[in-house]
Chain A
Amino acid sequence: MSDGGQAIAAVVGIGRTAYTRDPAGPRSPLSLAAEASRAAVADAGLDVADIDGVASYSMNDSATFGQVPYAIGAGELTWNLDVYAGGTGSFTSVHAAAMAVSSGVCRYALVYRSLCGRSGLRYSQGSGMASLLNHPDQVFDFASGYAVPPQWFAMWARRHQARYGTTPEDLGALAITLRAHAGRNPHAVMRDPLTLEAYLGSRMVSDPLRVYDCSLEVDGACALVVTTPERARDLAQPAVLIRGGEFTWNSGGSWNNWPDFTEMYTAKIADRFWNRFGLRPADVDVACVYDCFTYTLLVSLEGLGFYKPGEGGDYFRDGRAGYGGDVVVNPHGGLLSEGYIHGFNHHYEAVAQLRGQAGERQVDGASTAVVTAGGGPYGGALLLEAAR
């Protein structure tokens, strides 16, 4: 529990589609976004006409902030924002919506992410790469066959391995824990238990990352409705307060020039984040931490101070990231086992947990959650709290 300070906004509605890998006749990102958005508005007990702000983010597949409100029959907007970003956009879009309602430029902001990550543009297949080929930050990398995220994060992980002796079993402990969590989540795409043997025997993608170290490409959408804490009191669901967030961007250009691949954005924001709220990692009940790859999760938690550098494998193996441990990390299974909705499903899960609506995977007494977004040099973290 935190210092009880002011919240800047509240999440009052959550909605999502099914997350699918083999859609029978793929749907458009617009259709998925509309379904999730309508669900979030209905969940809040609002009418679509109440929505007067919209935000989203993308780098590839998406439905734009112009299309979605139109498709769901929303009226006039007084605020909108389309963020060109990777995983960081999951923080930036929600944080911006919180500031928008807080400052009064809109009253009810709809924030969503929609993508056909499986049937549409697939990073793992190199789809859409040609458009990035001559990007000034990447043109030289392409020529060496170094172009897609699994390769980048593998490169980063190898440095961590060299410095801290991180083993395949350490990375595997993260994948196994998240899969175990997903086993209790009917919405998760991968729910069968993962053994260490199966993990170690799985196909290598880029050393040291195996296929089970990589997030699950799915089609789907997820949406939130954000408003002020005052308005939240009169709505249909228990409000979840957004206490605030911390963000870092201290790198332009190529990721290759980030000084130390053994740390990511969380190392830069940790002190600011915890000091701002008067909290320590041990005070958090639920941590929804961006996990595009196991290595991202390993080092992001490390940077936030959940464990000392190099101790992540033991932390997961010893059950400290699971039920009955120090904090439940990604109780939905994360991007690794629930599905890759570009990090936005982490917000959904945190809100469901803080409302006490997470069903079989409910974390007992969950009142405080951290939600992070990003990988590599940049990203952010939000603190969410159950309203009392």
Chain B
Amino acid sequence: MSDLSAFQPVPDALTGPFWDGARGGRLILARCPRCRAWQHPPLEMCRACAVPLQPEAAPLWGVVYSGTVMRHPAVPLYPTPYTVVIVEVGGVGGPRIVTRVVGTDGDVAPGTRVDIAMRPLPGGDFMVPVALVSTREEVR
């Protein structure tokens, strides 16, 4: 088993707000104060406006863009199988984040609505967003 300490992020000025927010149960993404575009992974400046991006709390729900079930243990953080999805935060077309799914290790179809919560990242004291499969209907 690999030493999980090697899999802990090293927050910097750009990624720090995300990790700090996660510890507080919030999903903090970079957003342009002028055109309101989200930018994840974050950049210093808005790609369109070239003004500094600001950390902002994003909605704690989204729609699955795609997903896969990990069966080969390439990353030692989580026991296989586990499901990972790309979620469009706040609805179709929203900023995309990658999350592990809690509640199933089976397929989660594109279009599924999920809630986002924070869970511990194994091996340290970070929290990381996960997707909770919601009971609400699918969004197309």
Contact = CB atoms under 8 A, between A and B. Distances in A.
B72 A256 contact: no
A162 B110 contact: yes
- Which has the most chain B C-beta neighbours within 10 Å: A125, A150, A256? A256
Interface in A144-171: 144-148, 150-151, 154-159, 162
Contacts, number: 116
B100 A207 contact: no
Nearest to A125: B74
A158 B96 contact: no
B66 A261 contact: yes
A32 to B, nearest CB: 25
B67 A147 contact: no
A166 to B, nearest CB: 12
A18 to B, nearest CB: 27
A136 interface: yes
Nearest to A137: B41
Given A126-B75, A136-B14, A147-B74, A206 B68 contact: yes
A142 interface: yes
Contacts of B107: 158, 207
A159 B82 contact: no
Given A144-B99, A145-B75, A155-B66, 6 more contacts: A150-B72, A150-B74, A204-B69, A206-B69, A207-B107, A254-B40
Interface of B: 2, 6-7, 9-10, 14-15, 18, 40-43, 65-72, 74-78, 82, 84, 86, 96-100, 107, 109-111, 121, 126, 128-130
29 contacts: A124-B72, A130-B6, A133-B6, A136-B14, A139-B9, A141-B98, A142-B7, A143-B7, A144-B98, A144-B100, A144-B128, A145-B75, A146-B84, A147-B74, A151-B68, A151-B70, A155-B66, A155-B84, A158-B107, A159-B66, A204-B69, A204-B71, A206-B69, A207-B69, A208-B68, A209-B68, A256-B86, A257-B40, A261-B65
Closest 10 CB pairs between A and B?
Answer: A154-B68, A159-B66, A162-B110, A207-B69, A145-B75, A143-B128, A205-B72, A148-B74, A144-B100, A206-B68
